[in-house]
A and B are shown apart, each in its own frame.
Chain A
Amino acid sequence: MSTTQPVIRAEGLTKTFGPVRALDGLDLEVAPGEVHGFLGPNGSGKSTTIRVVLGLIRASGGHVELFGGDPWRQAATLHERLAYVAGDVALWPGLTGGQCLDVLGATQGGLDEARRAALIERFDLDPTKRVRDYSKGNRQKVALIAALAANADLLVLDEPTSGLDPLMEQAFQEVVRERREEGCTLLLSSHILDEVEALADRVSIIRRGRTVTTGSLAELRRHTRTHVHAVTVEAPAGLADALGVADYVCERLDGHVDSRFTVGAEHLDAVVGRLHTARIHTLTVTPPSLDALFLRTYDGQAVPLDATELGEPEEAGR
């Protein structure tokens, strides 16, 4: 595999279903060896993009390449090198979990036997149970194990942890990191920001079938603001008007001065200097999270995300 050639490259993808425009000029590039987070609210076109990339549906317009080939024409050949977990996992109800694993493995062009056994152990799956008696989480585990145990260069995971408990989510993240260290490329679609933040090297954020922003987390963070909460002995001088500071709120509490504000990453140093002069009692600096990034991207839009769930100060970038 050439290191320069992207694993997935999509340019200006459009897809219409009757009157509905599911993709509207979407761009996506996934480089070899990276974990690429693919973020967007429900219905933004994540699954449609993945299906176009896999050659399951044909784009109405634009250009798409998978391993440098045309996924619509060479689907079966290109699929030798990837494994896929669909957004809605469906298995054959009459087969056992273990049988489904093997069938999915054969579909993908082979499972690593040692990895299969290890993952069954790790995800605590009973492979002798019939799929119709499985819970949703257990069905999800079967699909995940089949993909993670595959001998694949690329893993395409569409909302992979839906239905998993936190313990299993943890196990999943560990396995994904291991696979990445082995040189595997991952495309991870999700609307769970924590998960993408924990795993992704680069992210693409899409909305209404269009890529809104893309880049490494560091690059994206540069455009967002750090939250600072400081309790000082004296009132910090001139902070309200300092360069790069916004959303400044200051009040006196129990003989201390409580200040909250946001600041651009490049001005953080100067601001902390001023706080230091005012004698810091406690200081909390929260770097910009993907959540903040996400909200910023959807600035002014009705975002289907609950701000309280994000655990961020109210003002996150708005």
Chain B
Amino acid sequence: MRATGLRAMLGVQWRTHRRGTLVWMFALIASMVATAAAIAGLYTTPEKIHTYAQAVTSGDALVAINGRVEGIDSLGGVIQDEFGFLAAFLLPLLGISLVAQVTRREEEAGRLEAVLGGRVARHVPVLSGLILASAAIFVTAIAFALGLIASGVPATRSVLYAASLGALAFVFAGLAALLAQVTLHSRGVYVWSLLVLAVAYLLRGVGDVTKTWVTWLSPLGWAEKAAPFGAMRWWTLLIPLAVGGLLATLAVLVAGRRDLGSSLVRGGAGSARATTWLRSPFGLATAIHRPAILGWLAGALVIAGMMGALAQQFVDAFTGNPAMAEAIGLSGAQPEDGFVAVTQLYIAIIATGYTVQAVGSLRGEETAGRLEPRLSGTLSRMRWLAAHGLVIVTGLVVIVAVSSVVLAAGTAWSMGTAVQLGRVAGAGAAYLPAELVVGGLALALFGLRPRAFPAGWAAFAVVAFIAFLGPGLKLAGWVLDLSPTTHVGNPPLGTVEALPLVVLGAIAAALGVAAAVGFRRRGVPQG
């Protein structure tokens, strides 16, 4: 197959997607390097590193979440462990999103047709997307390595660690490229890749906890088994490179053979009539938000279920080693509460991400041109906004409530004792005002400055970074205070004060009012 038009295609894809790509790379590099630098500043002596290593390896709970880090008794090992959870999701997501946005989404939008009508061979867009994604991953890995070396991690080990993460991203880029050929819509690419990622995460967790070969079944396991701060197995890099290369080759071959706009997986017919429910503003809003609600709920349930099932190991670790509590940002006498508090914070971040995405889909309705016909009927702007607001908040409450129940049930099963559901659910509910502040900010952007909506995701990134890594990195108080989750009071371990929650609720309400006023006054659509 001659790659006719490859150079032109690379130019087009780079030009149309460079902004999103650079934002992704910058966010990843910044969070990684900031984590490395903060850890280097925190664990300044071998004793401190040793204490940390003792703490996190004293039970299976953290091993399941962050992975079994070989050579954890070193600065690099601490970094690999702290970054383990985030890296397991962010790097595959980097690969998936870079490829999905230049392949199936372009085809869906009909832009691929215009390109293939020119002097571009059928398989070239996928090939070019893979080349660009690989280049972005390569540059990100180099920046990782440099950041690690700058933080005082030995150079060879830094390079191996960065390479193992880059190879991980590459596997998922190849997977997404192949999925883009067999599913009809870019949503399918995301759904199936994320499903594979979830399975990979579970396999790695099971393998690490049981110390068996199961780890080797997971791309996340391959990265871990490179053991950059332990035995340094360079050859393990060959596995992800070979698998990713195989997936990528298959994708390019399939792309060269299949018809434009075709796929192996296709949706069937549906009902010819809309129900009364779907015709109502509330019903249509539910239909619009349901995929996001279910997706984020699934994510929250995986965390809640896994953590719940590991509750006993956690509690053992806490009681056995108080240093561990400190390592994950907790200290206190009630290990069970501490464990619930950590999990609820994770769930709160997932719920916050949901609110931003849900508000983002309002913006999506506008830019896709579906808001205009909606508002040219008898539906007033305020009723449209209110219906969506109600559905988004209901979805938020459902995510938090169901996750809390699953967490409580898992914990009760694992520990063999009765768990106070009210206490677990109350902790989840205490985060609602904080989640609504971020959602309210996103909504205010939608109402007042719709083109600046991506700032809502930036706010979420800051909140997530502070919540996940803030306590472990011992960030300054004012930095921690930037995130509304900090003000909730870490329930059920800490005490929840009414005043901060009321203030957070008031801020969320004020942002909501600002959004409504802005949305009422502005022109629709604003592209």
Contacts and interface: CB of A to CB of B under 8 A. Distances in A.
B375 A106 contact: no
A79 B376 contact: yes
A96 B523 contact: no
Contacts of B272: 96-99, 127-128
A313 interface: no
A76 B525 CA distance: 16
Query: Chain B interface residue count: which class?
Result: 35 or more
A100 B267 CA distance: 17
Interface in A44-99: 51, 54, 56-58, 75-77, 79-80, 82, 84-86, 88-99
Contacts of B271: 96, 98-99, 128
B239 interface: no
A69 B375 CA distance: 17
Q: Which of A56, A88, A105, A132 has the most CB of B within 10 A?
A: A56
Contact of B267 (A57, A98, A132): A132
B204 interface: no
A41 interface: no
A96 B274 CA distance: 9
B377 A109 contact: yes
Contacts of A93: 185
A109 B378 contact: yes
A88 B525 CA distance: 12
Contacts, number: 119
Contacts of B477: none
B288 interface: yes
Contacts of A97: 272
Interface stretch (B37-45, B276-284, B325-333, B498-506): B276-284
Given A95-B287, A128-B271, A90 B184 contact: no
A169 interface: no
Nearest to A47: B372
Given A56-B523, A103-B284, A130 B373 contact: no
A80 B380 CA distance: 11
Contacts of A54: 376
Contacts of A234: none
A103 B378 contact: no
Nearest to A147: B373
Given A96-B271, A128-B272, A108 B377 contact: yes
A86 B366 CA distance: 13
A133 interface: yes
B475 interface: no
Nearest to A85: B373
Interface in B370-421: 370, 372-381, 383
B269 interface: yes
A223 interface: no
Contacts of A56: 372, 375-376, 523-525
Given A98-B272, A102-B279, A104-B373, A51 B378 contact: no
Interface string A130-156: 101100000000010000000000001
B378 A108 contact: yes
A130 B271 CA distance: 9
Contacts of A143: 373
Interface in A105-126: 105-109, 126
Given A98-B272, A106-B279, A132-B185, A90 B380 contact: no
Given A80-B378, A103-B284, A106-B279, A130 B369 contact: no
A88 B369 CA distance: 7
B524 A103 contact: no
B368 A90 contact: yes
A318 interface: no
B513 to A, nearest CB: 20
B270 interface: yes
B19 interface: no
Interface string B324-351: 0000000000000000000000000000
Nearest to B185: A132
A130 B284 CA distance: 15
B379 A99 contact: no
Nearest to A133: B267
Given A51-B523, A90-B369, A84 B273 contact: no
A129 interface: yes
A107 to B, nearest CB: 3
Interface string B403-446: 00000000000000000000000000000000000000000000
Contacts of B380: 75-76
A109 B380 CA distance: 12
19 contacts: A54-B376, A56-B372, A56-B523, A57-B524, A76-B377, A76-B380, A79-B377, A84-B373, A86-B372, A86-B376, A90-B368, A92-B284, A92-B370, A98-B272, A103-B279, A108-B377, A133-B184, A143-B373, A156-B376
Given A79-B377, A92-B284, A102-B274, 7 more contacts: A79-B376, A80-B378, A89-B369, A90-B368, A94-B291, A103-B274, A107-B378
